[in-house]
Structure 1
């Protein structure tokens, strides 16, 4: 979130749904998930109701080249994104946390965090067709998650 976003008037943040996409390097699956989530949030008009986080436990220096290429095929430019770190404390403030099958995180879910391990193969090092299949599965999972998020946001707001 930028400083401008923090300064802008927003609805009560308690009403916001926070969703995070996490993997070790934050250079592949979680980056694709975040991009698809940003698109879903915009398509559904949930910009003021959903906050998207992404990060890794040991971030890489850059997004994997294959991920940049394959997401470009879908109209996403991830070439300027930089993998980042995300803390357990940040994740424990989320409503939903999707891990990509490589996480060793131990989150305190007593606060209501819904953690899902998507158990996805890593597109880095996969051949292009396998990497496309991973990308497409991520898109399907994000759309399904946003069906739930949208229902939750509508339940809190209206």
Structure 2
């Protein structure tokens, strides 16, 4: 089976609880790529719900994450992704040769208030803008 050159790039964001960082990253990438990138997020030990401070912080920038739920990390999700970005899950993410792996060191928003979550959100936004530019070089992130 040969790879389809027209296939959308796919990115998986992984953190332990899939309740804050990975959810914000997935929401930003979904929004900024306008559907041109397949986006997944998961956690090695998913929380019961998405962090309310993360939901509120994203709402402040016009992105609604209120319907999102933490998802369990599966080997299938890793296999199906071109880029796997981990955020503090250590060695719990399965490794497959040929995948691009990145580890983004970001403060964990768990248990923190909105004032502590905003800078984390903004750092994720900056990294996602760079990722979109890299994965979709013909597109402009700020193009309307």
Distance 1:106 1:53, change over 3 A: closer
Residue number among 55, 65, 74 corresponding to 1:87 in the alignment: 74
Runs of 4 or more above 6 Å deviation: none
**C-alpha offsets along residues 68-96 of structure 1, whole Å, 9 cap, x if unaligned?**
11111111121111111121232133111
* 3-state SS in 2 of match to 1:15: coil
Confirm or deny that 1:40 pairs with 2:26.
Answer: no
Kindly indicate whether the alpha-carbon contact (under 8 Å) linking 1:92 and 1:107 is maintained by their aligned counterparts in 2: no
Q: Which 5+ residue runs of structure 1 have no aligned equivalent?
A: 1-11, 154-158
TM-score, with structure 1 as normaliser: 0.77
TM-score, with structure 2 as normaliser: 0.84
Residue number among 106, 109, 124 corresponding to 1:138 in the alignment: 124
Give the Cα–Cα distance (whole angstroms) in 1 for the partners of residues 101 and 78 of structure 2.
10
Distance 1:131 1:16, change over 3 A: same
Q: Report the equivalent of 1:8.
A: none
* 3-state SS in 1 of match to 2:132: helix
Q: CA deviation at 1:152?
A: 8.8
Kindly indicate whether the alpha-carbon contact (under 8 Å) linking 2:13 and 2:84 is maintained by their aligned counterparts in 1: yes
Residue number among 50, 73, 78 corresponding to 2:65 in the alignment: 78
Residue number among 38, 45, 49 corresponding to 1:58 in the alignment: 45
As a proportion of its length, which structure holds more helix?
A: 1
Cα RMSD over matched residues?
Answer: 2.1
Q: CA deviation at 1:125?
A: 2.2
- Count how many residue pairs are aligned between Structure 1 and Structure 2: 136
**C-alpha offsets along residues 91-146 of structure 1, whole Å, 9 cap, x if unaligned?**
13311111112333343342x21111001111122343321100000000111111
